[in-house]
Structure 1
Amino acid sequence: MFVTTADAVLEPPIITVNTVLSLLAVDYPTHKLACYVSDDGCSPLTYYSLVEASKFAKLWVPFCKKYNIHVRAPFRYFSNNPLTFGGSSMEFQQEWNRMKDEYELLRRKIEDAVQNSLPCDLTGDFAEFLNAERKNHPTIIKVIWENKAGLPDGFPHLVYISREKQPKHPHHYKAGAMNVLYMVHGIAGIQGPFYGGTGCFHRRKVIYSLSPDNVDSVNEKFAEDILSKFGSSKELMKSAAHALKGKIDPPANLWNSIQAAYQVAGSAYEYGTSWGTKVSSQ
Structure 2
Amino acid sequence: WSDEAQNLKMMYEDMKSRVEHVVESGKVEAEFITCDQFRGVFDLWTHKFTRHDHPTIIQVLQNSETDMDDTKEYTMPNLIYLSREKSKVSPHHFKAGALNTLLRVSAAMTNSPVILTLDCDMYSNDPTTPNRALCYLTDPNLKSILGYVQFPQKFQGISKNDIYACEYKRLFDINMVGFDGLMGPNYVGTGCFFNRRAFYGTPSNLIFHEIDELSPNQIAHKSIKAKYVLELAHNVAGCIYEHNTNWGSKIGFRYGSLVEDYYTGLMIHGLGWRTVFCCPKRAAFYGDAPKTLIDVVNQQKRWCIGL
Higher share of residues assigned helix: 1
- Larger Rg over CA atoms: 2
Q: Normalised by the size of structure 1, how large is the TM-score?
A: 0.49
User: Larger relative CO (CA 8 A, sep 6+): 1 or 2?
Assistant: 2
